[in-house]
Amino acid sequence: METPPRLTTRAGLAALAAVSLLALVETASAIVAPYRAPTDQDWRAAAAQVRAGFRPGDLIVAAPAWADPILRVYLGDLIPAEVAGRMDDERFERVWEISQRGATSEAAAGGTVAEKSRFGALTVRRVQRPAAAVRYDFVARWTDAHASRRGAGGASVDCPRVSDRLQCPDVAYNTVRRQLVEVDTRLRMALLAPPVTQGTVVIEYPHVPLGRSLVVATGLHNVWLRKEASGPVDLRVVIDGVFDGTFTTRNDDGWALHRIDTTARAGQVAAVRFEIMSPAPHARQFALAAEARF
């Protein structure tokens, strides 16, 4: 019988040793992990620390982000829907971060740690960071908007307000409304404005006080509808009749932020128009949010 080459035998033994070591590491991790996890007592103590120093307008986040549902069990009453569904983190000056296993949150990046405490497996940090001054929140002020549908030939029809939405005639799904949407597995407070076949959905705010930038966020709502269709959605932004950019949103783009420099018009009041269109609007639940900021 032929004897296996020595090199092959050594390689096999090395592979066996590596697999055995990996199995030992995984087993040890499975045994140790429950003892490293935060306890209910840890969470209660951390929550008490946050409550003692919390101010209205503060942001509370968990790190890693997957711990957010647990965080809400203890501090959910301090996280209203508007904050949970925030466009981004830039308007918050004070951020409370409850972290475990050395994780940090993007919301606390770029700031200075004002206080830090340890409660078992949890670390509480209060981070002070530069905050953007919001002059106008388009989602919160959705009732200021005028909506219409413009056909391919240029004819336009108004979409009057009906209860909690702006409803365009003839097409049931042709609405603009403020609601919590799901984009990239995160909830966002946004304007939901699905595009229409061979037409443009127009949302105009006639009197917007501008700052140094107009920040616009876009995304596609509903994971099941993202699986069903793949048509892109285009958003045109027009300020006082001047075209300022087109942003295209696709399934894989998630919640995307776009910035328009309005420094030259800071302090002015302008009409801001959003035009939404798609070559394949089927199952396109387009969501947008915007803020005028200093």
Measured CA to CA in angstroms, residue 264 lies from 40, 124, 209 at distances of 53, 41, 13
Q: Which amino acid is at 108?
A: A
For residues 164 and 114, membership in a common domain is answered with no
Q: What is the pLDDT of residue 8?
A: 58
Q: Is residue 13 part of a domain?
A: no
**Domain check: are 139 and 233 in the same one?**
yes
Q: How many CA atoms lie within 13 A of 19 on its CB side?
A: 6
- The predicted model gives 105-111 an average pLDDT of 94
Name which residue leads in pLDDT, 110 or 78.
Answer: 78
Residues 230-257: b if buried by 16+ CB within 10 A, e if exposed: eebbbbbbbbeeeebeebebebebebee
> Is the distance from CB of 180 to CB of 222 less than 8 angstroms?
no
Residue 33 lies in a domain: no
Non-local CB neighbours of 43 within 8 Å, separated by 6+ positions: 70, 73, 74, 122
SS3 191: strand
Instruction: Find how far residue 160's CA is from the centre of its chain.
Output: 29
Per-residue pLDDT tens over the stretch 232-255: 999 999 999 999 899 999 999 999
Q: In the listed set 85, 100, 128, which residue is the last one of a domain according to the structure?
A: 128
Tell me the mean pLDDT in the region 209-226: 98
Do 111 and 146 fall within a single domain? no
Specify if 48 maps to a domain.
yes
> Does residue 29 sit within a domain?
no
Co-location of 139 and 282 in the same domain:
yes
Whether residues 143 and 119 fall in one domain: no
Specify whether the CB–CB gap between 208 and 269 falls below 8 A. Answer: yes
State residue 32 phi and psi, 5-degree precision: -80, -35
Question: Do residues 177 and 252 both lie within one domain?
Answer: yes
Give the C-alpha distances (Å, rounded to integers) separating 69 from 35, 36, 84, 237, 278: 20, 19, 11, 36, 35
pLDDT in tens, 25-74: 454 344 444 446 999 999 999 999 999 999 999 999 999 999 999 999 99
* Within-domain flag for 85: yes
Per-residue model confidence (pLDDT) at position 18: 56
Residue 161 token pair = 């307000």
Give the C-alpha separation, 175 to 283, whole Å.
14
What is the C-alpha radius of gyration for the chain, rounded to an integer number of angstroms? 25
Q: What is the CATH number of the domain that holds 260?
A: 2.60.120.260
Domain residues for 99? Answer: 40-128
109 and 157 both lie in a single domain = no
Who has greater pLDDT, 135 or 1? Answer: 135
- State whether 145 and 120 are in the same domain: no
pLDDT of residue 208: 98
Same domain, 124 and 45: yes
Q: Does residue 216 lie within any of the structural domains?
A: yes
What pLDDT is attached to residue 9?
65
Beta bridge partners of 191: 178, 288
pLDDT in tens, 146-178: 999 999 888 999 999 999 999 999 999 999 999
Look at residue 105 and tell me if it is in a domain. Answer: yes
Where is the domain boundary, 84, 110, 128?
128
What span, in angstroms and rounded, lies between the C-alpha atoms of 87 and 139? Answer: 10
Angstrom distance (rounded) from CA 182 to CA 173: 18
- pLDDT of res. 244: 87
Quickly state the pLDDT bin for 5 (edges 50, 70, 90).
low
On the question of pLDDT at 98 being above 50, the answer is yes
Structure token digits, residue 275: 């035009």
Of 128, 157, 176, at which residue does a domain stop?
Answer: 128
Residue 7 resides in a domain: no
Same domain? For 73 and 212 the reply is no
Least confident of 13-17, 76-80, 147-151, 253-257: 13-17
Residues pairing with 136 in the sheet: 292
Number of domains in the chain: 2
122 and 187 share one domain:
no
Q: Are residues 147 and 231 in the same domain?
A: yes
